[in-house]
Amino acid sequence: MKPDINAWAKKFESLTNSDEAIGAMARYYTCTFMFNMEHAKIIVEMHDGKVKRIDTAPGPIDAYDFVLRASAATWREFAKPIPKPMFHGIWAAMFRQDLTIEGNHLILMQNLRNFTIQFELLRKCGVPV
């Protein structure tokens, strides 16, 4: 059965907006990023620590600051409650697996604390691929 990408988006938004660690330093967590999961592309727009919009069907020239790109298999590993070694974070997967991060790296670094926390929420909501 094909995963329901819109249901996933709602869950990811809810988890993000209710996360206490993000909420503790939410102000200025403002950026737009894409998850490229091979079979799905998703753009997440953040504003002051809250999800402003999740676009599950972005067009070819829709804008974002940076994109995380990896195979669907890698994303499925990211989303396990306890990922295997080398799939347990963006740095690990960049160094040792097929994850690439493209775009404006400075914006990622400026938001790294909260983005790292938010990325790990995938362990709770899974991925739509």
Question: Are residues 33 and 64 in contact, defined by beta-carbon separation less than 8 angstroms?
Answer: yes
Residue 16 identity = T
Residue 53 or 113 with smaller CB distance to other proteins = 113
Q: Which residues bind other proteins (CB under 8 A)?
A: 82-83, 85-86, 88-92, 95-96, 105-106, 109-110, 112-113, 116, 120, 123
Residue with Cβ nearer other proteins (6 or 18): 18
Q: DSSP letter for 58, please.
A: -
Strand segments (E) across the chain: 31-36, 41-47, 50-55, 66-69, 100-103
CB of 113 to other proteins, least distance (A): 4
For the chain, what's the residue count?
129
**What is the closest distance, in whole angstroms, from the C-beta atom of residue 104 to other proteins in the complex?**
11
Residue 88 CB, nearest approach to other proteins (Å): 5
Residue 9 or 16: the one with the smaller Cβ distance to other proteins is 16
Residue entry with tokens 């809810």: 14
